[in-house]
Chains A and B, each alone.
Chain A
Amino acid sequence: MADEPSSTLDRRKFLAVLGVTGGSAAVLSGCSTDRVEKLIPYLVQSEDQVPGIATIYASTCTECASGCGLHVRTREGRAVKLEGNPEHPVNQGTLCARGQAGIQGLYHPSRVRSPRQRQTDGSFKDISWDEAIALLAAKLTAAQGKVAVISGAGRGTYRDLLGAWTAALGGKLVDYEPFDHESVRAANRQIFGLDQLPAHDFAKARYIVSFGADFLETWLSPTENQRGFAASHGYIDGAMARHVAFGPRLNLTAMNADQWHVARPGTEGAIALAMANVILAERTTGPADSNGLKNLLASWTPEQATQISGVPTEIIRRAARDFASAGPSLAVAGGIGSQHRKATELCAAVNVLNYVAGNVGRTVLFGAELQSGDGYGALVEMTTAMAAGQYQVAIVHEANPAYATPKSGHFADKFQKVPFKVALSLFPTDTAALCDLVLPIHHALERWDDLRPRKGITSLMQPVMEPVFGTLAAGDILLKLSKKAGGPLASFNAASWEAHLKQSWAGFAKAQGNGDADGFWRAALARGGVFGPAPVTPVKLAAGALQLAYPAAALDGAEGADSFTLSAYPTSMLYDGRGANRPWLREMSDPVTKITWQSWVEIHPDAANRMDVQDGEILTVTSPHGSIEAPAYLYGGLHPDVVAIPLGLGSNRTFDGRGTNGINALDLLNGEPTGGYLAYTSTRVTLAKTGKFQAIAKTEGTPRQLGRGLSDSMTLTQAKKGMTPSLAAAETEHHPEVEVNTEAEHAALRGFRSAQDEKIKLGAYAEDHPKWGMSIDLSRCTGCSACVAACYAENNIPVVGEAEVLRGREMTWIRIERYWEGGDDGEPLEARFLPMMCQHCGNAPCEPVCPVYAAYHTADGLNGQVYNRCVGTRYCSNNCPYKVRYFNWFAYNKTAFPEPLNLQLNPDVTVRARGVMEKCTFCVQRIRGAQNTARLEDRPLADGDVITACAQACPSSAIIFGNVKDSTSRIAASSRDRRGYHVFEDINVRPSVTYLARVIDRAEA
């Protein structure tokens, strides 16, 4: 840990490029050892950098607003992997895919490398920092307070500085966050008189209802939500919370629901109100002051809700009763994807529902005040003012409104009315492209900073390495400007941004009643911040509660047979487009559709039949505000009246500077703010066939299990009975249980196995070894793909690109298989997830067929793969029943890691050369590492010494890894679970991975 505050960065010399061992990983696994290499020593030895051993610094994730704590793993002075900070209350040691991909932002080749000034001809020219500062300082002085600042910086010391700084200038500042959940805040204002975002305790909730809120994807604090959700919804000795989802689209969150009920877009509120009504009517529970609502709600009968939403009455009734009786329960709404014109009313309704069920204060915790911006409305206000010529200078810090707002809002035009525009940005974003001056700023991993994602939590960031490019910390830019411009800014005279931060922390320490500011800082730095409980605000109904109403949401565009309601939704990978230039996130495939690299239009199969649209047929989608072209993806998980298009693509600037392929769904939306927010589900669109086709780069082969028992599931009742998956299946499908092997066969097998075991008492196999195993609890797995990202980062997995994915050549060592259940003839469409990686079979079929022993069985039960011995016959992959072996068809190691992305490569793992087979190794480098350490300390390995990257990252801790032979280990315990099963048990390959069947709490009436 970074436990000393000295400002010198010498201790984090950026040597990787020069390569003590740094460059090593980037070299392919051929025998290329004869080339002359240089050894570059440190100038000054660092106490906390031991070459060959990872140093970990605590930091904070800035990939979304939830502010998770990071542990940054660095080697020889370069960050190689982002992991969750176990001490951080938000994510508690786990980290989502997007967070982990943050490191690709750090090393991104298309980062702005030096200040750039727009020339008269519109092109950009690199200039020195001094020039840049001088230029901007002059402009600021000239502007005389006519300064507009748009800030994407979260709540923290920098934001405070920026605020004060802008104020001093006499300018105006808008905090801008594309997914700001304005509707949630507005509703809280209306119902409880509290203008804030509460925290939600999913872990405590026993019954969870989501009204289109994608709390496992982008809603408020996804990683935290998922952790809580897994804790309550995951099956633990006979109990699990129930999760019901209402909404127009089957998103990842709804896929993890025990039941998903499709509702007409914009009608979820009616259901919420009806539920509240039933609860009050039946007086099962609820605080006294909710009586006032009784009459108000009386008109909202379930029948009416059914009429409006299309959800059956009895379902609403039962949901209401269970919701009330479960206690504490939790209802959530306000997801971006379902943010329609009446989103505020929806959230208000849900607030009431939570209130009458008595959840407010138990699972809905006000007082935490999750960070949020000023909302879309405020931005529009400012841009209008810009158009009116009220500003001389505009400064945009880490925000990209030019991309993230609909074209119909004309942000670009209005913004360009400002004479002098400046972008403080990592990347040449669409907005930066409009500016006159682009100032490259430090990545979060390169700078000192802090963040206050919510009350009670102050999370620190520290430079874990030398800056990759010639950038500056935004804070330093402000201070330099102040020194240069003087005048009103003269008061900002801190020596450096770091000094300023320390100073403000000294104050913070005092406020915390800690005399020793230095010690306080030291401790915070080591821990990753200061973590305290959030204050809880007592909540009462406000007057606004009685103005509760839920009119039908208005839609732009004509209603009609051939027109659909458009839902432009954010995906958990691309978020607001921040993910669009991260190779990992693009290739890892969307958790729902499993599409990589491309944009698509989701259309319901019935509608598709009606219009005779095929999968992959390119459609023209037209709304009153614009039109786009994208391939059709037939998706049963939709309301037939809806087409859905993912957000995040279609930017002009990205990875290779050539722009993300794909389209920007915002082009179809109405830029007018409704009640201060942008309505993402508010437009009617018409579809037209173009007759052109595009092959969709899906990682999915066949999405049905064909009764092969891959991802098993059972009902809660069956689980309670302690049924095995096969028994449960037998019961559900009304056939006698299919014995995998008859008794005779079992006997034969036992004989065969013991015979095997004495036959291998040779060489290394004679000694006593651990047997590594893994178990995956499918009742906790949500299919979020955080494990996949972790695997990419840990194991130097190359990104192969769209063309290769189309040929099925993606290299994901661990993949999340998503199978569909039901869906046809009326039965509900359900999803099953199955994280599939090398099963490390005891009788591995891949091993005996390798002519050169490149695939063989290690004494500790791993299925070893020796890259440098592999000649590439690919026989092992043919013979693998799980198809988890991946071949280097081309020299991906040369193409997938363009400078400086190769600096992220993990030096402990060989980068595979062209023509060799590779696959999941159970993170053998971590195993060997732990064994080396244990050996140095003369102790045996303890349970938990080795944890694979996937298990470490999993936000729902569904993956357990360890030594099966050690009967006290967690893995041994979970492998004994009644729900445990192996995929393809009956081909007797004896996998080391045990899956625990998913438990679904069906409504058995």
Chain B
Amino acid sequence: MSTTFNRRLLIVWLILTSMTLAYVWMDHTVDQNGTLRASTVVTVSAIVIALIKVRIIFREFMEVRHAPAWLCRLTDAWVVLIAACLLGSYFVGSAVS
């Protein structure tokens, strides 16, 4: 029993780490010769990937998976809320400037 659980944790960790490494790939595709360029696609996908990671941490590491429904919904709502705030401030800020 415990081994299956720990394998699950290992897989979760591997997924999180590979998502982190995906950033390196993103970074390499967008930058040319070390000069950074603004990119809405990169910004939005960086935020979205980070929030997916946050949700995985909530569900798996923090064991919300086994928690009562209200906590599942609350944490999901929170991820959505954070996403709305971050993307909202990014787009509103871009529109203003």
Binding partners A and B: no
